Homo-oligomer: A and B are copies of this chain.
Amino acid sequence: MPETQIQTQTRDRILDATSELFRRQGYTGTGMKQIVANANAPFGSLYHHFPGGKEQLGAEVIRASGAMYFDLVMGIMSVSGDPVTGVRDCFAGAAAVLEQTDYADACPIATIALEVASTNEPLRLATADVFESWIDGAAMWFRGHGIGKRQSRALAIQLIISIEGAFMLCRALRNTEALKVAGASMVAAVKEALADSA
């Protein structure tokens, strides 16, 4: 295998391992030694690929895992072709994943977003970029289903709020009741918006 390909693989393994650790234990609680151990990478490779250290790695992980998570969620929402079913599938899918992973595998950037909001401006900006792109992307999705511009933006924000808020309750309480409540409320909001736009 050419050396550049090996290096890309090491870099990707570091990003994947870091994303997994951040999701479960947050930014502050994740150490560099744990990252290289979980990535099965030599310690030196971390600073080779991320000369800015943990902060650079953190910002890249936030952006990369934020984009990946959005694609995953929008993919699930788009399977049925119907926005009401799509939103219902999104919350049901999130509940299923939480249960299957013992309530560990939720949003990859939520914990970090709260940790850094008042403590680390470069990382706060990375989370802001991710949330902005989610709002814009989800709003475009609602508009694609014939809902007006202003209402699509509000639904997009409500969707993200509902998922993030419900994840917090579900993970703390170890049950999926909050995702069921949030899903039902989002489904009602989407139905109403569709009726308004009809």
Contacts and interface: CB of A to CB of B under 8 A. Distances in A.
Contact of A182 (B29, B111, B158): B158
Contact of A161 (B113, B174, B182): B182
Interface residues of A, number: 44
Contacts of A181: 154, 157-158, 161
Interface stretch (A3-11, A71-79, A163-171): A163-171
Interface string A94-131: 00000000111000001101110111000010011001
Interface in A165-186: 165-166, 168-169, 171-174, 177-178, 181-182, 184-185
Interface stretch (A20-28, A32-40, A41-49): A20-28
B114 A171 contact: yes
Interface string A145-164: 00000000010011011111
Contacts of A119: 24-25, 29
Q: How many copies does the complex hold?
A: 2
Given A28-B28, A181-B158, A181-B161, A168 B104 contact: no
Contacts of A28: 25-26, 28-29, 115
Contact of A157 (B103, B111, B160, B169): B169
